[in-house]
C-alpha cells in the first residue's frame, strides 16, 4: 500500500471511530442513509465547493463533506463551547483545518459576505425558517439548501408518538416549515421522507 492509500485508510478509520464515539455519547449526527445521500449529492454536483453548515456538533458531517473532493471548503457553526472544542480537535486530527473553519456562534447571528454553493442546516429544528431567511443574502440563484430531520423520528406527521409537550410544539414548527418550503416560489424543493430522518433539498431559482 502506497503512502497516499495509507493516509486515506487512516483518515477513514479516524472518521469511523469519530462516528462510533459520537453515537455512544448520544451526540446528534446524521443518520447513515442521510449522510450517504448527501455525499452522493455532493459527488454528483461538482460545481459545489463552498459549503455553510449550521450545526457542527463534533465535526463529523463537516469532515465527511470536505473529504468528498480536495477543493471543498466548509464554514461550520456551533453554539455549544464543548462541541466547538471537540469539533476543532477532530478536524485538526484529520488534517482539514485549512478547509474546514469552525465558528462558535449562534447560526442566526453569524455574518459573512461569502456566497455559498450549498447551505446544510442541521441545527435547532424550530429555527429552520429563521436560518433560511438569515442566509438568503449569502446565496445566489443556483445555491442549494439541505435541511435534515424534517420527519423528526416520525413525530412531525404523527404527534401522538410523543407525550412531551415541547417536542410536540417543536415538531409542529417543523411541519409548518416543511409546508412553507415546499410552497416557497423562490425555490424548487424535493422532500425525501424515507431518506435519513426526512431530508429536503431546495435550490434557489429566484
In a domain, 8, yes or no: no
pLDDT of residue 8: 73
In a domain, 183, yes or no: yes
- Give yes or no for residue 116 having a pLDDT over 90: yes
In a domain, 17, yes or no: no
pLDDT of residue 28: 86
Q: How far apart are CA 67 and CA 11, in angstroms?
A: 9
Q: What is the pLDDT of residues 153-201, one digit of tens each?
A: 999 999 999 999 999 999 999 999 999 999 999 999 999 999 999 999 9
Q: Which residue in this structure is represented by grid cell 424550530?
A: 126
In a domain, 112, yes or no: yes
- Give yes or no for residue 126 having a pLDDT over 80: yes
Instruction: Tell me how many domains the chain contains.
Output: 1
Q: In the predicted model, what is the mean pLDDT of residues 124-133?
A: 96
- Give yes or no for residue 4 having a pLDDT over 80: no
Q: List the CATH number of the domain containing 119.
A: 3.40.50.150
Percent with pLDDT over 90 in the chain: 91
pLDDT of residue 200: 98
Range of the domain at 89: 30-204
Which of 60, 79, 10, 67 lies closest to 42 in space, CA to CA? 67
In a domain, 119, yes or no: yes
The sheet carrying 199-204 orders its strands as: 100-104, 73-78, 50-54, 118-121, 144-147, 199-204, 187-192
Cβ atoms within 10 Å, residue 198 = 23
Q: In the predicted model, what is the mean pLDDT of residues 127-136?
A: 98
pLDDT of residue 3: 64
**CB-based contact 67:9 (threshold 8 Å):** no
In a domain, 151, yes or no: yes
pLDDT band of residue 38 (cuts 50, 70, 90) is very high
- Give yes or no for residue 41 having a pLDDT over 80: yes
In a domain, 64, yes or no: yes
Name every residue whose Cβ is closer than 8 Å to that of residue 160 and which is 6 or more positions away in sequence.
none
pLDDT of residue 10: 73
Q: In the predicted model, what is the mean pLDDT of residues 12-28?
A: 90
In a domain, 1, yes or no: no
pLDDT band of residue 7 (cuts 50, 70, 90) is low
The strand pair at 73-78 and 100-104 is best described as parallel
pLDDT of residue 1: 59
- Give yes or no for residue 5 having a pLDDT over 70: no
pLDDT band of residue 131 (cuts 50, 70, 90) is very high
pLDDT of residue 186: 98
Amino acid at each position: 500500500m502506497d503512502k497516499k492509500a495509507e493516509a486515506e485508510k487512516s483518515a477513514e478509520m479516524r472518521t469511523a471511530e469519530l462516528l462510533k464515539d459520537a453515537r455512544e455519547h448520544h451526540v446528534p449526527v446524521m443518520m447513515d442513509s442521510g449522510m450517504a445521500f448527501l455525499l452522493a449529492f455532493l459527488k454528483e454536483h461538482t460545481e459545489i465547493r463552498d459549503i455553510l453548515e449550521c450545526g457542527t456538533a463534533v465535526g463529523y458531517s463537516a469532515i465527511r463533506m470536505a473529504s468528498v473532493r480536495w477543493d471543498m471548503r466548509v464554514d461550520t457553526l456551533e453554539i455549544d463551547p464543548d462541541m466547538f472544542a471537540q469539533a476543532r480537535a477532530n478536524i485538526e486530527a484529520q488534517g482539514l483545518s485549512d478547509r474546514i473553519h469552525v465558528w462558535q456562534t449562534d447560526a442566526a447571528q453569524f455574518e459573512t459576505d461569502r456566497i455559498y454553493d450549498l447551505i446544510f442546516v442541521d441545527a435547532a429544528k424550530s429555527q429552520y425558517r429563521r436560518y433560511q431567511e438569515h442566509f438568503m443574502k449569502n446565496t445566489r440563484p443556483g445555491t442549494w439548501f439541505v435541511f435534515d430531520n424534517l420527519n423528526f423520528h416520525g413525530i412531525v406527521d404523527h404527534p401522538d408518538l410523543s407525550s412531551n409537550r415541547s417536542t410536540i410544539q417543536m415538531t409542529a414548527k417543523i411541519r409548518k416549515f416543511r409546508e412553507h418550503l415546499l410552497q416557497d416560489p423562490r425555490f424548487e424543493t424535493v422532500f425525501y421522507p424515507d431518506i435519513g430522518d426526512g431530508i429536503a433539498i431546495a435550490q434557489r431559482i429566484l
